[in-house]
Structure 1
């Protein structure tokens, strides 16, 4: 993994944390320009995540031939354990404290659909969100992985075209069916293809290293994101996010070898999953004890960081390795016995 992408993943995750802090503590009513930025534009961290995901999946599978099922199994082992764990915790929190959590409701059918990455109306009545609200992005991620698995049956030179065609065709097809049409008609899903395009260009040496030009492009992209609405998310936020990603890749020599940034990036998935649980806990403390919300947030940040680091070590690394070793042992071909 490029350290520049790790740093950007961490920044994107913590941007989303600040966005949800403004939602949970202030119901998206900001009192200053910084707060207003996170209210209006903090969700762009998701767009950056999607572009990075497309880039990383493309680069990590080049020059590799594997069954599509093996690819999907590896991704499932990587994504599902932590997501299921924190979804269960969120469900228990809602059951225990649901009366005090605005709009938070859990029921068994919706909970099961959440675990299966199937979009469905949240029983709280606020949209197509799973029990662990941030999991809506993982519905897109798993859908992308399913489409990407098709590339392993075609030559490498055709893989970007195949995944693009498959993603477009299936999205257009499912967008005619009820709930799925409301979810997969969102053009945010095509941001994965922007990441694949960056990976394709990077592999061919078309991403030139530099500092001042990438910094200028990042500044221009941030201005665009700040001034453009999310109504056309792919064009207004997705394209600037892709420019930010490719600019960070171009600055890789200035990031290379930074272990802190690598660790922050490693923990970003757990940060994304954990932060809502911690913020809701902080919100309860703020309401009950009448503590300043910003003081509570200052406490929540290191708590999220420490919990995410522990989650990365125990769930994302150690459990992942054990599950992968177990799966590979079961999938390994059985040696034939010689008859003597």
Structure 2
């Protein structure tokens, strides 16, 4: 917890700074709600990566507290209150999902989707419009129901993300891990030889 405290302080400070008005690029970047939400997620990820867990009861208290706070103080979304309307509830949902992770037996397919989630996230911005364009070219009369089109492009995004995970992300991650291990071993053996 001590290692993440400075990050949590920084997150709180920059969240408050959001209500000030600045125009410099660093100010706008560090007070951007999406950046703040990302850093909050990194804090939760770091907490869990160190083998710590939040109990389901605590996670549920956090979730319902966030929902109550959001309902009372930010019933509608604006740029200024995005962290309250979107960020905190998303963070609370992630905390609840992590607390449930050990209590639910996940299917192999859902585990595979979880493993590939980053690849799906990175590729969906390309796959969705491309898939939609292909469907529009094939269905010039626009006879396909919107639900079918939606399902098709989502499934295409999942397929492309899974393929990228298997063919790119996993091999590259393994290669990077081997390279980092070698560098670490070299550093341990003789710190002067590593440039």
* Pair in the same fold by TM > 0.5: yes
How far apart are 1:188 and its partner, in Å?
3.6
How far apart are 1:269 and its partner, in Å?
1.0
Alignment-derived partner of residue 176 in structure 2:
323
Q: In 1, distance between residues paired with 2:175 and 2:154? A: 30
Q: Deviation per CA, 1:298-324: give whole Å up to 9, x if none.
A: 322222122111111121111211133
Asked if 1:159 is matched to 2:3, the reply is yes
Q: In 1, distance between residues paired with 2:25 and 2:120? A: 29
Structure 2 counterpart SS, 1:265: helix
Alignment-derived partner of residue 301 in structure 1:
154
Q: What pairs up with 1:83-102 in 2 under 5 angstroms?
A: none
What stretches of structure 2 of length at least 5 have no aligned partner? 191-195
What's the Cα RMSD here? 4.2
User: Which residue among 132, 136, 152 is the counterpart of 1:283?
Assistant: 132
Give the length in aligned residue pairs.
Answer: 175
Structure 2 counterpart SS, 1:228: coil
Q: Deviation per CA, 1:88-132: give whole Å up to 9, x if none.
A: xxxxxxxxxxxxxxxxxxxxxxxxxxxxxxxxxxxxxxxxxxxxx
Structure 2 counterpart SS, 1:158: coil
8 Å contact from structure 1 (residues 208, 250) kept in 2: yes
Asked if 1:259 is matched to 2:122, the reply is no
8 Å contact from structure 1 (residues 221, 241) kept in 2: no
Q: Quick one: higher RCO (CA 8 Å, sep 6+), 1 or 2? A: 1
Alignment-derived partner of residue 193 in structure 1:
40
CA distance change for structure 1 residues 229 and 204 in 2, over 3 Å: closer, same or farther? same
Q: In 1, distance between residues paired with 2:180 and 2:30? A: 31
Q: What pairs up with 1:7-156 in 2 under 5 angstroms?
A: none
Q: Deviation per CA, 1:194-216: give whole Å up to 9, x if none.
A: 6636838x9666x3336xx949x
How far apart are 1:233 and its partner, in Å?
1.5
8 Å contact from structure 2 (residues 132, 153) kept in 1: no
CA distance change for structure 1 residues 297 and 188 in 2, over 3 Å: closer, same or farther? closer
What stretches of structure 1 of length at least 5 have no aligned partner? 1-156
Q: What pairs up with 1:196-207 in 2 under 5 angstroms?
A: 196=43, 199=47, 207=54
User: Which residue among 60, 73, 77 is the counterpart of 1:229?
Assistant: 77
User: Which residue among 167, 173, 176 is the counterpart of 1:314?
Assistant: 167
8 Å contact from structure 1 (residues 279, 297) kept in 2: no
Q: In 1, distance between residues paired with 2:97 and 2:107? A: 14
